[in-house]
Every structure is written in C-alpha cells, then in structure tokens.
C-alpha cells in the first residue's frame, strides 16, 4: 500500500455560527477520506488529565470526502501583468536591476525572467550554480549564456544589467558593485573588485516562450505533467528597482543607471519603481511599473516589502521616513503564505452551533488529520469569553525548532521527542515556516499564514522540542475545565479582537486568555485596555503575553507579520533598518520597547522561561487581605497552589511573568501569589539583562518567578493576572478536583456577577491587616 | 542564525594547489570573450576569482592544455621547414602515425573497444583507394573519400562482434582479421601483382617533387593538416555528445542505462566513425608514399603503434601524440642504431608500464597524488583525532571562529571528561529533568549546545498513551529525516532521556 497522507487547512479560521468556511485538503495514496465534524474539548493525552476528548457533531458535512493530491508552490516571487506580451521577445533589449543575493550558488536562480525551464525558451537574468551573475537565453533548441567573471559576494548590493543585440547576437553583461557604508553586510574597507563587464557573441536569440510563461521576479516558469505550470529556479535575496528597455543601452548609459536608479531615457518597456505605492500604514504586494505600459508585478507568497534598498544610507530607519531608500524587496525560496489549494468542501455551519473550538476530522486506514477552526456565537449570550490566541498559533505554526535550532535543546533543557508523523511532516519541507524559523539563506521568517496545513494545531500534537502540548493543544485544557465546571462560555479569537476591537469583548462580563497570548496587535491591546476601562474583567492566565508587536494587512487576516528586533527572547533578529512591519508601517519588536509593557495593561510581564519542570504558587501576604481573600476560599494559608499539572508538573512554569512597578504594573496591584524554586534552566530574559553577570538563573535571581496579581479598574472592572503558561494545564488535574480549579472557580463566580466585586469595599486605611 | 558553537563537520583541501596562470584584470575593463567558431566554447577556460587572501581580482587558468598543444604543434610547424630532409620526413611520418594513434585512442579509450584491427582498416582502405586510383582512374582528391567509405564499411563489419566478445577475445579476433586482410590482399594477384604492392599511385605531391625538398615539405604540411583533422575528429567525438554519453556510461553503466543512455549504441557509433577516419588516413598514407605494400599489415608495425599509445598513455589525445613522438624519434631518428632501436622502444615501454599508471601523460597527476599522500601521512602523524586545527587547514577555513571553536571544544571536552563519575550518572538517572548539581548541569549544557548533525533526539513509538521510545539522531540538513540510532526500546520517557545521556557521555569519553 502506498503511504497515505492527509493534510488540510480551513479558511477562514474564525467564523460565527451560521457562517461559511472552506476546507482545502490534499490526499496522497488515497481517493477519499472519512470526514466528521468534531468539537474539541481536550487535547493533551497526558494520563494525569482527562486525555484526548472530542465530541462528534452532526452536520451537513458528507461522511466521505473525495480528495486528491494538491500541490503547493513554495517560494516568494512576483508575476508581471503583461496582457500584451510586451515582455515576450523584445528583439534588442536591456534588462537591469539592483540586487543583493543572500545565497548565490549551489542551485540556479532566476532574478528576472521570461524563461520556460521545461522548453529552454526565453531569457533570464540570474545566478549560475557557481554563484556568478548570468544572462541566459534559449530558442527551444539551444541555450546560450554569458556569465560574469567573478562570483557574486553574498549580501552585497550590485547593479546588474544585460543587453542583447538581436542582429549581431552580441550580449553585454554588466555587474557594478554599489556597496556603501550601510547597505551591505560588508563595508567599503573590504577591497573587493565587484565589477565585471563581459561581452560575448551568443549562438542563439531568445524565442518567445509564449503566454503561459509569465515574466517573473525571483523565479522562472516550469511545467510538470501532474502539477502543470509552477515556478522554479527560485531566488533568495533582494531586488530593488528593475526594468527592461527595448534597445541596447550604451555602456555609459548603463553606468549612469547604476548611479541613479531612475528610469532611463529610451524605449522603456517597463521600469519597476519598487518604492512606489508605499503608504504610511503599509505596503501591498504590487510592484509598480512606472513605465509607459504599467506592467505591474504582483507578489506571491509575500515577498517582504519595504526593506533597505541599494541606496540605504542608514539615517532613515523606516520606509516611512524615506521610501526612496527602502526599495528592497526580499524574496525567499522557501516562503509560503498561501497554498492556494482548491476547496474540497465549503459548508455553512449551523446557526445554532455552540461556540467552541471545532475541527474537521479526516481519517483513512493509514492517516489522520484534524483541521481546527473556531466558532463564535452568532449573538453573544454567555457572560464569559475565552480568547483563543490565534496570533500565537500562527507565530508557532509548523515550527522547526527541534530540527534546525542549534540552541533549542539548551533553551528547553530537553531532548526533543519526535513522532513518525512529525518526521514525515518535516521531511516534506512543503508547508512553510513559523516566525521561529530561518529561511534557507539564514534570515528570519516574518510572515506566517493559516492558508496551509499546520501540524502543531492538531489537538493531540506535542511540541517536539519540549515534549508537551503547546498553544492550541495546551489551551484546550482551559476549555475542558470550563466544560467540566458547567460554566457558560463562548470563544473569541485574536483575529476577532483585532478586527472588531473592544466591540468583540463588550458583550462579555469577563474575558479569559489562554496559555500564551504572546503576539498582539495594537488593535488588540487597545481593545483590552478599553474593555478594562469600561468595567470589563480580564483574567490574564498565561505566560509571556502581549509581547511582540504583530500586525495583519487589512483584508488579509490569514497572514500575520512580526519583526523580531533588538530585545526579547528572539529566534532571529531583523537586519538593521528593517524593524517596521510592512503590513502596517509600525515599529515591530517588543511592545515593551514601544512604551506598552504588558505590566501596564495586566500587571505582569515576561521574566523567564524554562522547560524542565514547573513549580507551585505560594500565597503572598496580600492574598490574605479582605479585598481578595475570597479568591482563596477553601485554600489553606500555607497550601501550595498547583504543585501538579500537565505542564511539567506545576502551575507555575514554562514561560512565566512577574509584577514590576518599574515596568508599569498599576500601583494598586496586589501580589497574591508567587512561585519559588525554579531551576537555573529558567534564566532571566534578555530584555532584563543590561549588564551580563553570572547568576541570573532561577536558583539565584529573585526576578525569576511567576506572579499572580490583581487590580481593579474603573466601573467595577478588574484584572487578575496569573503569569504562567502552565496554569491552565494544571486545571484538568485529578479530573478538575484541585486547588487551581478551586481558585479559578472562586474568581469566576465573582467576576461573572455584575456590580461591585467582593471585597471592593475594603479600601480604608487599615491598622490591622485582617 | 544561532551562533555555531561547535566546529562544523567539513573537510578542507589543504596544501599546495596546482599552479594556475594568473592575470590581474580590472573590473571596469570590458572583457570580450572569444569563442571557438561554431561552438559555445571559449578558447581558454579562464576562471575569475577574488583571491581569498588579498581579495585581489584574479583571472586564472587551470587547464593549460590548449597552450601546450599550441606550443607543441606550433613549434613543430615553425621548426620543420628549417630541418634536414630526413628530419622533415620523420616529422611527416610522426604526424601520420599520430593521426592514426589519436583515432585509435578514440576506439580504445572513448569507446572502450579493444581493437587491434587499426592497421587492417588503414591498410584495406589504402589498398582500396590505391586500386581505385590506379585501376579505375579515380582522381587523387577523391581517394580520401573512397578510403573513408571503405573504412566505414569495414568498421561496420568489425563493430558487429564487439558487443558479443569481451576484451581479450575481441582483441584476438581483430588481430586475426588483420592477418586475414594481409593474406587476402596477397592472394589477389590482380590487385597487387608486384609482391602484393600497388605502386605509381597519384598523389597531392606532384610526381617530379618526389623526394625533393618541396615535395617533402608539402608532404609534411599535408600530414600536419591530417593530424589537426584527426585531433578535431577526436575532440568532436570524445568531448561532444557521443563522448559525454560514454563518459556517463564509464562512471556508472547501470545508472546511465536507467536514465536512457544507450551506451552500447554510442560505442558502436564511435567505432564506426573512427574506422571511417582511419580509412581516410589509409588513403592519405597511400598518397604520401605513392604506393602501398603488405608491410602495412605487419604485426611489428602494429606493435610499434601499440607501444606508442602505451608509452603516451591510453585514452588521451596528448598521450597518443607524445608516445608517437618518442617512438618515432627512436625508430626513425636513430636509424644508425639498427636493431637496438627496437630494444630501446621495448625498454621505454616496459619502464613506463612498470612505473606509470597511465603512460607519460599520467605521470604528473601520479606524482601529485604520491606527494599529497606522503604529506597527508605526515600531517596525520602530527595531529590528534578531533583535536585542534592544523595551521595548513586553518588557512583554508573561511570562518576563523570555527578554528577557535574547535580549540575551545577540545578543551571543554577534556575538562568535562574528568567530571564524569558514577555518582553523576546516577544523579541523572534519578532525575533527568530539573535542577541538577553544578557538575551535571555543566555536562548537560555542553551536550545540549552541540551541533545539529548527529545530535540525539527521542522517537515516540505508537500512541502517546501506550508509547515506548527509541533514540534518534538528527541529520542536521533540512528535509533529511533523523536516523534511528539502535533498536533498543525504552518503556518510559525518563529511561529514554537517560539512554540519550549515556550515549552522549560515551561519545564524550570516546572523543
């Protein structure tokens, strides 16, 4: 039997009951799969908890779903819109661009091409497998080329041009280094002679490869019997302003072009000004042709826009300050933001469907896939909302840490634990990266999208590098506990919060976060603040939340962007001058660096992480104050809270947050409980380290702890923060009968009632503390 | 990327490189690259580099053979008109024999068919061309096409058994064919009434120039042109499509066949085309001497030719030419030595066969290999496995930090080895995760920071609730799955963690 594989994704992720969504599925080694709608209740199979729990839900989804193999185009590139085929076989022509290659050599890469790889027809300006700039042409019978004399220096800017004289077949290749003090990896002190000017008489003239072969940036067109047309010869690196002129430009014109970058005089066919179309609030996927014909190019798989260009002079550190210096477009040969699969199923969910986390379960004899999605209430009725961290799910989607991150084992203090399914998925290398991974040229991945199969949102998935559930599978522990407690709740997602702002929260009396609300947009922070100001109640029950400045492009919620900057626990670091989100124009990095530390909103913020073991919380003196003592009903004064749990055996751990007035914790916040005894595998986070000195681990540094804080806001609002990822994962312990659950129940019973909160009257000066 | 804390596993080329002719062009100059007409090839395979030591722009030439050919053949061409009559004759004979040997090299080297029927083809074509001229009145300019045609036909016949018979048997067969040809020709009285010879053949050398200096010079220039033509044929067959097909087949017959290369057919083509070329040479041979005799079929002539390609080196055109030059110089140039010449040729041949792996042209490569082997033996004796970087290796490592990492790694390993005690191992066994003693923490942290290739991981076998565990090792290459280290199954996670720890301790102590 052939190996069976099922992969799929849902679009959109979050719908209201009664709305429509589509499922895109690819099956290999099978023709049909069993399909069943399920409600996900619990993910973690840890025997200390309830195990995996799902409920089958009747729906109009057919029991059998026909599937076939669907192919995925990886790699970022751009397609020129050329309806009149002006870029086909231009006779005499000159093609030019500013380029900065990050990975020259090994495989052939096409930078600008109207090239049919299969037929060997057309022309292309690219990089040979030896890492040299090369201009190649073909007529379908023979391919000929002219190559630069020396290989390209990686991560250095060049102006490159090739001209072809159709009468004499003389090709002139020009390569001019344009490295300045700022724009490249190396600077002017390196005595490279970047230039190369080669003239050769070729044996063929390019033939028109036809309409099916588009003019491409960063790739060339290829065809396969099963797959049809796709793009190969993908390029890794930057391309700045580029163009094509219908004549052989004189050498001095080319030299002048290399100095100015502005559109040359003459028979311009296209001149793409990569800096055109920028706005203060972001950049789209269209590369604007300012030439006479408007042959705009459309980016596929989100080429990264607004990056430093060939003429970057370092003073402006954002495309918003001087777009003309930010014409760089970064292409990655392994970028993926949309699989573009055909939907196998488009269904309308029943209007009466309960809000919750659902999945389309697909099964065959040899494979299983869960495609999760989120259903909100059509009209909110419950008093409690659970905010599912869909931004975080995207950020970690398909992370490769166990395989590719050298330091992952040192961070987690774990040996990774893989399954056959993990290995099979990783082997494919087909479904893109997370914002924790590096592209093949070593640069960080800043985009993550839900329009692709995502292994680690499967409900039973355990993150290999840590051997435990992470994000959605871990968040289901809270869902199980709410179900088990009989509390009436509905769910929301980060995307809903981002789109609707405080309106999404307003119907609810209390909103509770999941384990790891790490990625937040400005809209989301604003909404949370406004909600608290308006009397809303927030239970921030997670670790390392409100951390990274993230964004979505308007109208494209599937793809999230983040730039990891100079501080924080960062899997990578954006290159200088590239810290602003292309999709919104705002500075990315930590919210803390932009004046919005999480302490300011919920009282606690990230302080340490470790994946070896978790600890319990211990009550702090504030917890005995009558303002909050009701939260601890049934919990003894010395009782350890959460010395158990599915998250490494404790309620305080994995990623932990602390109270800090210096970072903006509200001055009236109470410190209810804290954790002790973390190991040295919990080092203080790097944004807290100004001077480095020994002893910043859990056994020596008092800042390494998880805190529970509480403060009230206007209009009977309140915020309880439990700064630990492991907290929710302790809830299902002993079938929910435990002191973590009891604490949560005490809090929720009060929070879900309107009006004044218990203990709120105890605000006078006190001589006695009890 | 996360900083690479341990040396990458890579081998660096160390020691002296081959000398390259180096020019220092300027990047602002326009380089007009000429091409060999009708091809995409450049005249010289210049290679542009930035000198890794100085970053100076350099244009280097590794393959200097075109230069040697030009110097060698050009020298011959320029010098010959100033030589004595006898020497001119020797030079012409050298050119003819070289041409034969170059084509023969195609058969033996490129096609890999061990045929000894070379002179038989040359001779039969020569006789046919001579007969056509003398008896049928075919004018001399058409003799070479006639010879080529006969060569093609003969080649076609000879090719048939070549795929059926292996090496030695085929060689014997062709030797037999040569003898049959000789007997055949000698039996046909009508063809060659005078002792099996045909005389008074027309030629490109006017009859009254015969044995005169102008005639000799004309003969030489024609023979020189013949040699150039033979080299062109060699190049076209050996380095173009047919030759490349056969090169693939030589590297891996089964694989090339699987990719659709019909190498048997390609072999036959090379054989047939070469035979045609030999036929043309046969016609030229007749014209050059204005006669042909049975001596052309003689075994000693064949063996002399064989000695030439053995001395020069099989399979290469330069081998064929150099070998021919040596043997012709001895055989024709030292006529006064008499029979001793044959002994000298034999001695040279035996000497070359005993000492060189592939004739005189292979001597340089052979010497280089020998010298590199000796050097690496000396280096190996000086260094310790997994130890520090040798100076000659350090110059080749582009990232100098790797040199430090290797040094640091060696020292940290030496320190950590001393920390491994039974108590330490027991401590890990009791509690694989969480806070440990300082010694165990240091050991574990070293392990965890290791490079990705061969870094250990754990495989969960079966459903989570009923799983057992195996130890894996990462490939360190994206898309290349980890390998299973051994078949041992561990019942619990803690046992698996400890198993990985023990493997790492073992690796540390073994390093």
Residues of A in contact with B25 (CB under 8 A): 149
Distance, in Å, from the CA atom of A138 to the CA atom of A116, rounded to the nearest integer, reads 9
CATH architecture of the region B420-510: 2-Layer Sandwich (3.30)
Going by C-alpha positions, the residue among B29, B275, B484, B21 that lies closest to residue A196 is B29
Residue with tokens 């973690």: A44
Q: A700: which 2 tokens?
A: 């020596």
**Rounded mean pLDDT of B354-370?**
88
Q: A401: which 2 tokens?
A: 């840490």
Which of B40, B56, B472 comes nearest A144 by C-beta?
Answer: B40
Which of B448, B465, B500 comes nearest A413 by C-beta?
Answer: B448
Question: Which one is predicted more confidently, B168 or A147?
Answer: A147
Contact flag B441-A51 (C-beta cutoff 8 Å)? no
Output the pLDDT for position A93.
97
Residue with tokens 């190969």: A232
Length of chain A: 770
Separation in Å, CA of B375 to nearest CA in chain A: 30
Separation in Å, CA of B264 to nearest CA in chain A: 26
Give A196-231 pLDDT, tens digit per residue: 999 999 999 999 999 999 999 999 999 999 999 999
Reported as a pLDDT band with limits 50, 70 and 90, residue A2 is: low
Distance, in Å, from the CA atom of A657 to the CA atom of A605, rounded to the nearest integer, reads 5
**Rounded mean pLDDT of A333-352?**
96
Residues of A in contact with B496 (CB under 8 A): 415, 417
Give percent of chain B above pLDDT 70: 96
Contact indicator for A674, A631 with CB cutoff of 8 Å = no
Output the pLDDT for position B4.
40
Output the pLDDT for position B386.
56
The angle, 0 to 180 degrees and rounded to 10, between the axes of the packed helices B263-289 and B241-251 is 130
Residues of A in contact with B27 (CB under 8 A): 149-150, 177, 193-197
Separation in Å, CA of B42 to nearest CA in chain A: 10
Residue B391 has pLDDT above 80, yes or no: no
Give A675-699 pLDDT, tens digit per residue: 999 999 999 999 999 999 999 999 9
Residue with tokens 């590794």: B62
Distance, in Å, from the CA atom of A609 to the CA atom of A568, rounded to the nearest integer, reads 12
What is the Cα gyration radius of chain A? 28
Residue A623 neighbours by CB under 8 Å, 6+ apart: A629, A631, A632, A670, A672, A673
Reported as a pLDDT band with limits 50, 70 and 90, residue B381 is: confident
Give A24-36 pLDDT, tens digit per residue: 999 999 999 999 9
Contact indicator for A306, A324 with CB cutoff of 8 Å = no
Contact indicator for B286, B143 with CB cutoff of 8 Å = yes
Residue A731 neighbours by CB under 8 Å, 6+ apart: A477, A478, A480, A481, A738, A740, A741, A744
Give B294-307 pLDDT, tens digit per residue: 888 888 888 889 89
Output the pLDDT for position B9.
54
Residues of A in contact with B29 (CB under 8 A): 197
Contact flag A414-B435 (C-beta cutoff 8 Å)? no
Separation in Å, CA of B322 to nearest CA in chain A: 34
Residues facing B137 on adjacent strands: none
Residue B106 neighbours by CB under 8 Å, 6+ apart: B233, B234, B237, B238, B270, B274, B277
What kind and span of H or E run contains B50? strand B46-50
The angle, 0 to 180 degrees and rounded to 10, between the axes of the packed helices A739-751 and A472-485 is 70
Contact flag A418-B458 (C-beta cutoff 8 Å)? yes
Q: A118: which 2 tokens?
A: 């299969």
- 3-state SS assignment for residue B330: helix
For A654-674, give the DSSP string.
EEEEEE-GGGT--TT-EEEEE
Mean pLDDT of chain B: 88
How many Å separate Cα A54 from the centre of its chain? 28
Residue A634, number of CB atoms within 10 A of its CB? 10
Residue B254 has pLDDT above 90, yes or no: no
Output the pLDDT for position B7.
44
Separation in Å, CA of A465 to nearest CA in chain B: 9
Give A396-432 pLDDT, tens digit per residue: 999 999 998 888 999 999 899 999 989 989 888 899 9
- 3-state SS assignment for residue B510: helix
Q: Which whole-number Å values give the CA distances from B329 to B86, B102, B305, in the listed order?
A: 12, 18, 13
Distance, in Å, from the CA atom of B510 to the CA atom of B246, rounded to the nearest integer, reads 46
Going by C-alpha positions, the residue among A394, A125, A370 that lies closest to residue A239 is A125
Going by C-alpha positions, the residue among A529, A468, A466, A515 that lies closest to residue A722 is A515
Output the pLDDT for position B11.
67
Q: B306: which 2 tokens?
A: 């064989």
Distance, in Å, from the CA atom of A308 to the CA atom of A303, rounded to the nearest integer, reads 13
Separation in Å, CA of A521 to nearest CA in chain B: 26
Contact indicator for A338, A427 with CB cutoff of 8 Å = no
Output the pLDDT for position B207.
80
Residue A158 has pLDDT above 60, yes or no: yes
Give A75-115 pLDDT, tens digit per residue: 999 999 999 999 997 799 999 999 999 999 989 999 999 99
Residue A494 neighbours by CB under 8 Å, 6+ apart: A387, A388, A389, A390, A391, A392, A517, A519, A520, A521, A524
Residue with tokens 């090719």: B159
Output the pLDDT for position A770.
53
Contact flag B27-A197 (C-beta cutoff 8 Å)? yes
Output the pLDDT for position B166.
75
Sign of CA dihedral A255, A260, A262, A264: negative
Distance, in Å, from the CA atom of A700 to the CA atom of A650, rounded to the nearest integer, reads 20
**Rounded mean pLDDT of B198-223?**
87
Chain A touched by B398 (CB under 8 Å): no
Burial class (CB in 10 A: 0-12, 13-18, 19+), B373: exposed
Contact flag A415-B496 (C-beta cutoff 8 Å)? yes
Taking the domains of chain B in order of start, what are their residue ranges?
1-63, 68-297, 298-382, 420-510
Give B469-497 pLDDT, tens digit per residue: 999 999 988 889 999 999 999 999 999 99
Write the DSSP symbol of residue A173: E
How many Å separate Cα A661 from the centre of its chain? 31
Output the pLDDT for position B5.
41
Give percent of chain A above pLDDT 90: 95
Reported as a pLDDT band with limits 50, 70 and 90, residue B10 is: low
**Rounded mean pLDDT of B304-333?**
90
- 3-state SS assignment for residue A548: strand
Going by C-alpha positions, the residue among B370, B186, B396 that lies closest to residue B292 is B186
Which residue of chain B has the CA closest to A153?
B50
Residue A705 has pLDDT above 60, yes or no: yes
Write the DSSP symbol of residue A623: G
The greatest distance separating any two alpha carbons of chain A, rounded to the nearest whole angstrom, comes to: 100
Residues of A in contact with B481 (CB under 8 A): 423, 426-427
Residue with tokens 């050991």: B443
Contact flag B460-A418 (C-beta cutoff 8 Å)? yes
Output the pLDDT for position B111.
84
**Complex-level ipTM:** 0.92
- 3-state SS assignment for residue A376: strand
Give B67-121 pLDDT, tens digit per residue: 999 999 999 999 999 999 989 999 999 999 999 999 999 988 888 888 888 899 9
Give A428-468 pLDDT, tens digit per residue: 889 999 999 999 999 999 999 999 999 999 999 999 999 99
Chain A touched by B52 (CB under 8 Å): no
Contact indicator for A316, A308 with CB cutoff of 8 Å = no
Contact indicator for A478, A489 with CB cutoff of 8 Å = no
Contact indicator for A743, A628 with CB cutoff of 8 Å = no
Output the pLDDT for position B1.
36
- 3-state SS assignment for residue A149: coil
Residues of B in contact with A462 (CB under 8 A): 464
Q: Are strands A417-419 and B456-461 parallel, antiparallel or unpaired?
A: parallel
Residues facing A23 on adjacent strands: A10, A345
Residue A602 has pLDDT above 70, yes or no: yes
Output the pLDDT for position B387.
61
Contact indicator for A363, A8 with CB cutoff of 8 Å = no
Contact flag B49-A406 (C-beta cutoff 8 Å)? no
Distance, in Å, from the CA atom of A124 to the CA atom of A101, rounded to the nearest integer, reads 16
Output the pLDDT for position B494.
94
């Amino acid at each position: 039997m052939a190996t069976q594989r099922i992969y799929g994704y849902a679009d959109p992720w979050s719908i209201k009951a009664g709305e429509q969504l589509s499922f895109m599925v690819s099956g290999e080694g099978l023709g049909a799969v069993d399909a069943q709608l399920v409600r996900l209740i619990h993910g973690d199979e840890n025997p200390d908890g309830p195990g995996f729990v799902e409920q089958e839900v009747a729906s109009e989804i057919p029991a059998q779903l026909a599937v076939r193999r669907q192919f995925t185009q990886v790699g970022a590139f751009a397609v020129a819109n050329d309806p009149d085929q002006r870029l086909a076989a231009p006779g005499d022509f000159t093609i030019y661009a500013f380029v900065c290659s990050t990975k020259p050599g090994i495989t052939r890469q096409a930078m600008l091409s109207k090239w049919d790889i299969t037929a060997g027809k057309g022309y292309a300006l690219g990089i040979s497998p030896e890492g040299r700039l090369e201009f190649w042409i073909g007529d379908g019978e023979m391919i000929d080329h002219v190559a630069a004399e020396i290989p390209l220096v990686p991560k250095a800017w060049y102006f490159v041009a090739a001209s072809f004289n159709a009468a004499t077949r003389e090709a002139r290749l020009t390569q001019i280094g344009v490295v300045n003090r700022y724009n490249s990896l190396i600077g002017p002190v390196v005595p490279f002679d970047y230039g190369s000017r080669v003239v050769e008489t070729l044996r063929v003239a390019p033939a028109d490869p036809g309409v099916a072969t588009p003019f491409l940036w960063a790739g060339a067109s290829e065809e396969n019997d099963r797959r049809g047309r796709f793009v190969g010869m993908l390029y890794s690196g930057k391309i700045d302003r580029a163009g094509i002129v219908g004549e052989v430009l004189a050498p001095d014109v080319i030299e002048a072009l290399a100095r100015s970058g502005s559109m040359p005089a003459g028979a311009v066919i296209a001149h793409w000004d990569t800096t055109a179309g920028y706005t203060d609030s972001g950049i789209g996927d269209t590369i604007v042709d300012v030439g006479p014909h408007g042959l705009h190019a459309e980016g596929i798989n989100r080429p990264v826009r607004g990056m430093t260009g060939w003429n970057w002079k370092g003073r402006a550190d954002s495309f918003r300050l001087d777009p003309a210096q930010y014409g760089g477009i970064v292409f990655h040969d392994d970028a993926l933001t949309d699989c573009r699969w055909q939907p196998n199923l488009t269904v309308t969910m029943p209007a009466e469907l309960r809000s919750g986390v659902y999945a389309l379960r697909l099964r065959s004899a040899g494979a299983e896939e869960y495609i999760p999605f989120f259903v909100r209430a059509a009209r909110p009725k419950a008093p409690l909302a659970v905010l599912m961290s869909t931004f975080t799910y995207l950020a970690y989607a398909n992370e490769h840490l166990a395989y590719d991150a050298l330091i992952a084992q040192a961070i987690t203090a774990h040996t990774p634990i893989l399954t056959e399914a993990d290995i099979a998925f990783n082997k494919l290398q087909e479904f893109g990266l997370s914002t924790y991974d590096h592209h093949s040229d070593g640069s960080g991945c800043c985009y993550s999208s839900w329009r692709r199969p995502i292994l680690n949102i499967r409900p039973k998935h355990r993150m290999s590098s840590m051997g435990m559930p992470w994000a959605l599978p871990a968040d289901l522990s809270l869902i199980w506990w709410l179900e088990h407690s009989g509390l009436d709740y509905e769910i929301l997602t980060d995307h809903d919060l981002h789109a609707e702002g405080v309106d999404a929260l307003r119907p609810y009396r209390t909103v509770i976060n999941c384990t790891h609300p790490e990625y937040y947009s400005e809209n989301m922070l604003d909404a949370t603040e406004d909600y608290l100001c308006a009397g809303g109640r927030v239970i921030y029950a997670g670790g390392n939340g409100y951390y990274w400045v993230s964004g979505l492009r308007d109208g494209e919620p599937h793809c999230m962007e983040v730039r990891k900057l100079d501080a924080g626990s960062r899997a990578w670091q954006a290159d200088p001058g590239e810290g602003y989100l292309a999709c919104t124009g705002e500075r990315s990095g930590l919210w803390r660096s932009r004046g919005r530390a999480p302490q300011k909103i919920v009282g606690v913020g990230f302080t340490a992480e470790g994946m070896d073991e978790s600890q319990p919380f211990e009550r702090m003196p504030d917890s005995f104050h009558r303002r909050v003592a009701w939260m601890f009903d049934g919990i003894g004064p010395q009782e350890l809270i959460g010395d158990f749990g599915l998250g490494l055996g404790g309620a305080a751990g994995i990623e932990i947050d602390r109270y800090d007035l210096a970072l903006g914790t509200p001055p009236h916040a109470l410190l209810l409980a804290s954790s002790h005894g973390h190991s040295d595998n919990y080092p203080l986070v790097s944004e807290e380290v100004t001077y480095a000195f020994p002893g910043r681990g859990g056994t020596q540094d008092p800042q390494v702890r998880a805190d529970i804080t509480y403060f009230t806001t206007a209009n009977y609002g309140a915020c309880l923060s439990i700064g630990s990822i492991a907290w929710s994962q302790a809830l299902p312990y002993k079938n929910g009968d435990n002191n973590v659950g009891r604490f949560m129940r005490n809090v929720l019973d009060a929070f879900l009632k309107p009006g004044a909160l218990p203990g709120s009257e105890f605000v006078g000066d006190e001589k006695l503390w009890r | 990327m996360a900083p690479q804390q341990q040396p990458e596993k890579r081998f660096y080329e160390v020691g002296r490189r081959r000398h390259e002719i180096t020019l220092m062009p300027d990047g602002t100059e326009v380089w007009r690259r000429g091409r060999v007409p009708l091809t995409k090839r450049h005249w010289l395979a210049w290679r542009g580099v930035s000198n890794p030591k100085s970053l100076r722009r350099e244009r280097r030439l590794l393959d200097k053979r075109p230069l040697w050919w030009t110097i060698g053949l050009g020298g011959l061409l320029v010098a010959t008109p100033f030589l004595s009559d006898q020497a001119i004759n020797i030079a012409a004979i050298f050119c003819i024999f070289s041409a034969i040997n170059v084509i023969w090299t195609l058969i033996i080297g490129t096609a890999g068919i061990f045929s000894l029927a070379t002179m038989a083809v040359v001779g039969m074509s020569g006789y046919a061309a001579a007969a056509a001229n003398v008896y049928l009145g075919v004018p001399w300019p058409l003799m070479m096409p006639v010879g080529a045609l006969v060569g093609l036909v003969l080649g076609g016949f000879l090719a048939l058994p070549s795929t059926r018979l292996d090496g030695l048997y085929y060689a014997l067969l062709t030797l037999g064919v040569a003898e049959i040809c000789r007997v055949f020709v000698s039996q046909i009285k009508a063809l060659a009434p005078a002792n099996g010879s045909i005389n008074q053949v027309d030629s490109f050398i006017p009859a009254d120039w015969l044995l005169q200096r102008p005639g000799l010079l004309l003969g030489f220039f024609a023979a020189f042109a013949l040699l150039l033509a033979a080299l062109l044929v060699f190049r076209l067959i050996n380095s173009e499509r047919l030759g490349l097909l056969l090169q693939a087949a030589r590297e891996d017959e089964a694989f090339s066949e699987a990719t659709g290369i019909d190498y048997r057919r390609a072999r036959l083509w090379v054989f047939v085309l070469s035979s045609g070329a030999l036929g043309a040479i046969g016609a030229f041979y007749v014209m050059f001497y204005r006669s042909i005799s049975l001596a052309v079929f003689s075994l000693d002539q064949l063996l002399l030719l064989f000695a030439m390609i053995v001395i020069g080196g099989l399979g290469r055109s330069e081998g064929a030419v150099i070998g021919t030059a040596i043997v012709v110089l001895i055989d024709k140039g030292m006529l006064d030595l008499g029979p001793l010449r044959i002994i000298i040729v034999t001695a040279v041949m035996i000497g070359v066969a005993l000492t060189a792996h592939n004739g005189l042209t292979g001597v340089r490569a052979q010497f280089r290999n020998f010298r590199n082997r000796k050097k690496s033996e000396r280096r190996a004796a000086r260094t310790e496995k997994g130890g520090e970087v040798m100076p000659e290796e350090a110059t080749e490592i582009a990232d100098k930090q790797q040199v430090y990492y290797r040094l640091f790694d060696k020292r940290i390993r030496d320190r950590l080895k001393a920390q491994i005690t039974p108590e330490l191992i027991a401590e890990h066994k009791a509690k694989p995760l969480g806070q440990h003693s300082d010694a165990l923490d240091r050991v574990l942290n070293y392990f965890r920071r290791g490079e990705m290739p061969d870094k250990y991981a754990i495989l969960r076998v079966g459903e989570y609730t009923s799983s057992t565990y195996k130890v894996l090792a990462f490939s360190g290459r994206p898309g290349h799955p980890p390998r299973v280290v051994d078949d041992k199954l561990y019942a619990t996670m803690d046992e698996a963690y400890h198993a990985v720890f023990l493997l790492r301790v073992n690796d540390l102590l073994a390093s």
